[in-house]
Amino acid sequence: MKKATKRRPASSRSAEATQPTSEGNVMGRRLAFAIWPTALLALLAAWTWQKQQAGDVPVLQWAPDKPLAAFLGARTRPVVLRNSLVTSWPALARWDFAYLAKSSRKSLQGLFHHTGPVFGPFYDEKRPLHGRHRIRRPDASYETNATLPLARLAVTFAPGNEPSEYWAFSGSLRDIDKALEKEVDLRELLSLYPQHSSVNLWLSMEGGVTPCHFDGFHNMYVQIAGVKRFLLLPPDSHASREFYPFLHPSYAQCRNRLADSPSGHVMEVTLQPGDLLYLPPFWLHEAVGLSPSISLNVWTGINDSQRMERILGMQIPGFRGGSPSATSPAGALSPETLSVSMAARFQLGSLLVLDVAKKLYNSTALVVSLFHSRFQFLKDSEALPPCPRHLCSSVAAWLRRNEAAPPALAAAGGAYAQRVAEELQAMQTENSIWFFNFIEAVALQAAGAPEHAGWMVECLAL
């Protein structure tokens, strides 16, 4: 589900303007008392700049007959379109919870059910670290496949309740009634990449939260009924948000709420019925229902995801497998296996040009950042087994002895690294995220067992 929801489930945003800092207020009073018109104008300009940078998502008046997909797909920042083609959908006039309950089905399955309002972080049991060592669902207290009789749908999601339990739904229109598909015209929203797109219906109660996460897709989010607030942060803020690793079942989910971020750091937007919010790939978002809410979104693939699939499908030169474990002697780590884990650090790192917060990070710094942002908390909480002391020392010793790989492997590795670097450099989205994911995938191949991949990253970070 990833996607557009989590602490922003079913997505919610608020368009509240960021207020000036307390220091700014004090300065404003002093200048006002001193009656400095020029300084007051400068203060107002500075406050407006701060507001635009930290708080506002642009809201554009569109036209129902004006195409929008290409315009949105070319953007790198969120935007809300009003009076767009979605305002002509029959769904805007018809859909409420009583209307949805008229389906011929007797019940709706696949709901989230919880004693609290926060549904997340999302947990995918298909990812490699599921069930390994002490990796478990971060919040195991809510159901993820609950059933609700449709006769109770309107009452359950009614406004003004002080519920003792919360419900939310994320799924297909057909889960309720296939006829609903005729009441939304999705052709334009699907036009960017129709063969790699999916459509999702969101039902949320007042106060329901989809927590902080990001999606690796274009996200066009339409508010159909009710009001929802979204909190947003750009991709370059990922390093400070503490994400679950690429290999973890909660990958792309934040460990902390955006709602707990310092005031003025998070963009907000509130969606009304008929609003279309566009979220570019990798933007952090969190949603909260300000009223019972019905929303529909389209996730559309990006070329970068296909590039990453090609990268991960390349045969790594010199790799013959290897499965070091806590009981393996240091000698079990062959040069071939270590070459795999070193590829990301030495070969790729030297070829990539990554501008992260205006700093040129070398490959070692990137791996250190990866370990501390994605693996350190798992190590500290003992969710992953501790790294055997001999492992990192043997890696360091091997590196000292083998700074230059054998000619044949070096040639093959150089060609491989060049191909990977070309793919990564061609990416249009935040490629440090892809690079981190790639390092994790390489570490998994080098370590053999998923729970040991963190060891390889830790050793590379030392």
Single pTM value for the model: 0.77
Phi, psi of 201 (to 5 degrees): -100, 135
Using a pLDDT cut of 70, give the percent of the chain over it. 68
Residue 212: closest CA among 247, 255, 169: 255
Burial 173-198 (b: 16+ CB within 10 A, else e): bebbbeebeebbebebbbbbbeeebe
pLDDT at 46 over 80: no
The position carrying tokens 């990833």 is 2
For the chain, what are the domain ranges? 55-301, 305-461
Q: Decide: residue 228, CB within 10 A, 0-12 exposed, 13-18 middle, 19+ buried.
A: buried
The pair of three-digit structure tokens given for residue 102, joined into one six-digit string: 């008229």
pLDDT one-digit tens code per residue, 162-182: 788 999 999 999 999 999 999
Q: Is 207 left (phi over 0), alpha (psi -120 to 50) or beta?
A: left
The pair of three-digit structure tokens given for residue 357, joined into one six-digit string: 């917060």
Q: For residues 212 and 241, which has the higher predicted lDDT (pLDDT)?
A: 212
How far, in whole angstroms, is CA 232 from its chain's centroid? 11
For the residues 254-268, what does the mean pLDDT come to? 82
Q: How far apart are CA 251 and CA 253, in angstroms?
A: 5
25: enclosing H helix or E strand: helix 22-34
Q: For residues 198 and 46, which has the higher predicted lDDT (pLDDT)?
A: 198
pLDDT class of 198 with cuts at 50, 70, 90: very high
pLDDT class of 102 with cuts at 50, 70, 90: very high
Pairing, β 143-149 against β 107-114: antiparallel
Q: What is the pLDDT of residue 333?
A: 43
Residue 200: closest CA among 175, 182, 179, 183: 175
Q: Are the CB atoms for 340 and 413 separated by under 8 Å?
A: no
The position carrying tokens 């219906």 is 201
Phi, psi of 223 (to 5 degrees): -90, 120
267: enclosing H helix or E strand: strand 267-271
Q: How far apart are CA 131 and CA 117, in angstroms?
A: 26
pLDDT at 309 over 90: no
How many residues make up the chain in this entry?
462
Q: What is the CATH number of domain 55-301?
A: 2.60.120.10
Q: Are the CB atoms for 156 and 167 separated by under 8 Å?
A: yes
Q: For residues 219 and 384, which has the higher predicted lDDT (pLDDT)?
A: 219
pLDDT class of 336 with cuts at 50, 70, 90: very low
Q: What is the pLDDT of residue 406?
A: 53
Q: What is the pLDDT of residue 228?
A: 98
pLDDT at 369 over 70: yes
Contacts (Cβ under 8 Å, ≥6 apart) of 224: 89, 91, 92, 95, 273, 294, 295, 296
Q: How far apart are CA 228 and CA 291, in angstroms?
A: 7
Burial 318-334 (b: 16+ CB within 10 A, else e): bbeebebeeebeeeebb
| Number of Cβ within a 10 Å radius of residue 456 | 31
DSSP secondary structure string for all residues of 325-370: -TT--GGGS-HHHHHHHHIIIIIIHHH---EETTEE--HHHHHHHH
Residue 373: closest CA among 250, 254, 455, 198: 254
Q: Is 127 helix (H, G, I), strand (E, B) or coil?
A: coil
pLDDT class of 318 with cuts at 50, 70, 90: low
Q: Are the CB atoms for 119 and 210 separated by under 8 Å?
A: yes
Residue 339: closest CA among 417, 425, 419: 417
Q: How far apart are CA 341 and CA 349, in angstroms?
A: 12
Cis peptide before 121 (omega within 30 of 0): yes
Q: Which residues pair with 7 in a beta bridge?
A: 210
**Range with lowest mean pLDDT among 273-277, 418-422, 437-441:** 418-422
